[in-house]
Every structure is written in structure tokens, then in C-alpha cells.
Structure 1
């Protein structure tokens, strides 16, 4: 079947819409992850998603709610323990891998429930159903609305915490806003790209847009455009080469990053 015919199939179109819904939310949020050097924090939150999946299946609740709940607990735990004698990277490493290990062990104890761990680790975008689309687009819209609402305050707190205090902005409150947005993105992304690839979709589009832009707003928009293009290109490449869809999407956006860095260096020399 040709790509032109395949794109008209319901499951392919749902996959594209799901990926674009995630890209619109993850890419602008990823800009703040890059600016604040929160990559490891995003990785820790994504790893904790597997524990959320296991708890959701154990207590028969929504996967979205379970993952988001565990992601929020991770965010609050990190915020509470930061500055109490623990190095941030060490603490995040301990929490990330502990949550992932406990999640995998908990999933092995689920009797009578078949758990496709590969789908949750690496995503299964081609199995997205209309109900999943509603969750992804609803969560994505909530994140975008939150970023638009707090954009100025978030930028100020990111650039200079002291200036933020002078302007009546609480940097810790803005950090918590970002943590909530990150938890929502992780919850909606686990079906699309899986826990191990969520951080890539947060960081790589933003990093790819950075060398080509001069303002935060343009960087966020360009990152979103690159992420959307990567989704469509990745799904098409996976269809042509019969490769795993989630990892292929990340490979495409990684290629865009390499191209962006090269182009940025050429422009700097000129």
C-alpha cells in the first residue's frame, strides 16, 4: 500500500493527530526544560511513568491519571528534597531509576492482566484510539494554555530569580507550574512515544530550534514546527522501512537537530 493510501487509513491518521497533539505541547515546554537545564528532571519524571502505569492497572484507574499522579509526586519530592544536602543530579538519578525499577517489578506481580511493557517503554502510537486522542489533545491544550498564561512570569523566573522577586513573581511557584505541565505531558506522551523517549521529544526539538532563533517566542514556535514535522516524517519513515514508530520519530527529530546545528554554525561564520 502506498503512503498516500495509508495516510487515509484511520489508524495512521489517528497516529499523526496524536503525535501532532503531543508535539504542540512538548516542544514549547521543552524550551523551558532546555533553558533551565532540567533535562535530567524530565528524564526522572518520565521514568516514574512506568510506576504510574503499574499502579493504574493494580487499582483499575485511568492510565492517564495514574501516570500524572506519580509524575506529580516525583515533582513534589524533588522540590522538597532539593537544597537539603543532596546533589540534584544524584537525587534525580536515585529517584528515576528507583521508580522505574519499582514500576517494572510491580507490573510483574499483576495477575490476570497482560501488560505490554514494550508499548509503555517505547510507545505504540499506531494503536491510539479516539479516546486516547481526546486525552492527548485535551492534555496538550491544557499545557499550552498554562504556558501562554504564565509565559512572562516563567521567562522572568528563568532568566533571573532575583528580578522575578523584585517584580512580585515567585520563582518556586513558577517552577511548580512547570512541574505540573511536565507531569501532564508525560501522562499524555506515554501512549505515543513511551517512557524512555518522552525526554527526547521534550529536549531535541527545542535544542534544534535554539541555534536558528534569537527570541524565546520564535524558538518555541520553531520547536513546535520541527516536532510536528518529525512526527509526520517519522511515521512515514516507519511505514516505508518497517521500523518501530516511536523511535523512528525520535531519529527524525535527531536528524533535524544535526542539520540545525550545522546550519547554525554556517550562519555564525558568515
Structure 2
């Protein structure tokens, strides 16, 4: 079955969407959209370093994503606003990644495949790594759900209840780094944050509880991945942007449903 490239692409898309969309709920709730964007932009430097040292792409992306998370956690609040720091890191890492790519004369690299994704080129090992990472993120979210939710709703109250808010923040950034690493081949560095944010934002008008929103976001993410893959195959378009466009269309639809419901 895995010899069919469309089956591999579908499995990769479902794996990434199932992990990214529920995690994206925390990104939306905590207003961390810029953090996801910065981590995704930094991923290109991880790709360049992995190719330069002939290592696994996902490992290189994961290492750089974790480095960005640690730098933000360490430097924020020390004279720089977090959004300023994220802006500096995002564009610096992206520039360094592009510079590293231009200097690698002996390494062949399809830059567009890492910028906007190339889901049709995923291998069996890529699918296995994507599902391993996705299972890890989903398991982490289930395990730490109540603690993460408490810190998101009220950090002070969570701390008073004995929850280490800084530890939960670190867990969340670790999960984000893993999602960026596994999503790089599916939607690319420029569109990863869209797959995190849009399904979660689309689920918000339809959900009454955080758990419902996470489940709906996962369903919307999976629908967007499969729908985008099918549309791209039929119309010969770039798969990553098509997946995000499907998610955006669902967001518009659910937003209109929410507006109508509120007026009723």
C-alpha cells in the first residue's frame, strides 16, 4: 500500500494535520501566532545545516526550532518585547538559512520544496517519522491537557494550584518544535504556521468547550489535508498552498456560521 505515492502523501498530511490543529488551539488561545511563524521561518536554517552535514532533515529542523524556543524563553523580558525578539529571530534565522543555501555549492537542494512543501515526494521513512512525531505531540497534549489549559486560562491561578507555568510553556514550545519538524515536507516553512492557526480558528465559532474545539480543529485539519491533496492532484497545483487554501475556505464558512448563529 505504501508503494503508492498518493497513499504516502495522504498519510503524511493526516499525521501532520492531526497533531498541528489541536496544538494550534493553544497557539490561538495564548496569542502565540508570531511564535509559530518565527519557529517555522527558522526551520530553513535547520534544513540547510542538515544537508551540509549530511544528516536527517527533520533532526536539523527540530534542533533549530528548539534553539529558537530556548532563546525566546531566555531572552524575553530582558529589555526587549517578545514580539520584537520574535521578529528579529524569525527574519535573522530565515536570512541565515537562505545564505547557507546559497553557499552550499556542492549540495543539491530544491528550495521551493522546503518553502512551500512537497508532500508528494514523501518516502516511507518520512511517513514513519511524521507519524512518530505526531503521536508524540498528541500524547503530550493528552497527558498535559489540564495543566496546559490551566496555565493558558490563568497563569497566576495555575501557579497557586502548584502547576509550574514555565515548565508547561516549555512543553508547549517543545511540541511546536516537533510539529514544525514533521510538517516541513508537507506544507513547507512558509505555510506551517497557517496549518497551526487556521483549523483552530475555523473550529472556534463552532465549539462550546476547549476539548470540542481541539477535536473540531483536528477534523478540519485532516479534511483540509485530504481535500487539498485531492484538489492539487486534479488541478495540478502546488499541494501545500492548496491545503492551506482549503483550510482558509473552511475558516470563512465557519466564521459566517458563527455570525449567523450569534444574530439568531
TM range (shorter): over 0.9
1:213 maps onto 2:207 in alignment? yes
CA distance in 1, matches of 2:248, 2:242: 10
Which residue is equivalent to 2:223? 229
- 2:81 matched to 1:87? yes
Q: Pick from 71, 84, 87 the counterpart of residue 77 of structure 1.
A: 71
Partner residue, 2:190? 196
How much is the aligned-residue C-alpha RMSD, in angstroms? 1.2
Give the Cα–Cα distance (whole angstroms) in 2 for the partners of residues 262 and 9 of structure 1: 41
The answer to whether 1:13 aligns with 2:7 is: yes
Given candidates 50, 61, 66, the residue that maps to 1:67 is: 61
Describe the shift of the 1:237–1:8 C-alpha distance in structure 2 as closer, same or farther (beyond 3 A). Answer: farther
* Alignment correspondent of 1:245: 239
Counterpart-to-counterpart distance in 2, 1:58 and 1:231:
31
Aligned residues: 264
**Contact kept? 2:200, 2:217, Cα under 8 Å:** yes
What does residue 44 of structure 2 align with? 50
The Cα of 1:182 is off from its aligned counterpart by 0.3
Alignment match of 1:132 (pick from 126, 148, 151) = 126
Deviation at 1:111, TM superposition (A): 2.7
Q: Would you say the 8 A contact 2:194–2:244 is kept in 1?
A: yes
1:190 is displaced (CA, Å) by 0.2
Confirm or deny that 1:260 pairs with 2:260. Answer: no
**What residue in structure 2 maps to residue 178 of structure 1?**
172
Question: Which residue is equivalent to 2:156?
Answer: 162
Q: Which runs of 5+ in 1 are unaligned?
A: 1-6
Asked whether the equivalents of residues 2 and 8 of structure 2 are also in contact (C-alpha less than 8 Å), the reply is: no
For residues 259 and 165 of structure 2, the distance between their equivalents in structure 1, rounded to whole angstroms, comes to 34
1:30-85 deviations in Å (ceiling 9; x for gaps): 00000000000000000000000111111121111110000000000000111111
Q: Report the Cα distance in structure 2 between the residues aligned to 1:204 and 1:233, rounded to whole angstroms.
A: 15
Distance 2:212 2:110 in 1: 39
Runs (4+) of structure 1 exceeding 6 A deviation are: none
Query: Under a length normalisation based on structure 2, what TM-score does the superposition of the two structures give?
Result: 0.98
Q: Report the CA distance between 1:109 and its aligned residue.
A: 1.3
What is the alpha-carbon distance in structure 1 between the residues aligned to residue 235 and residue 58 of structure 2? 31
Query: In terms of mean alpha carbon deviation, does 107-116 or 246-255 score higher?
Result: 107-116
CA deviations 1:76-107 (Å, max 9, x no partner) are 00001111110111111110010000001001
TM-score by length of 1: 0.96
CA shift, 1:123, in A, is 0.2
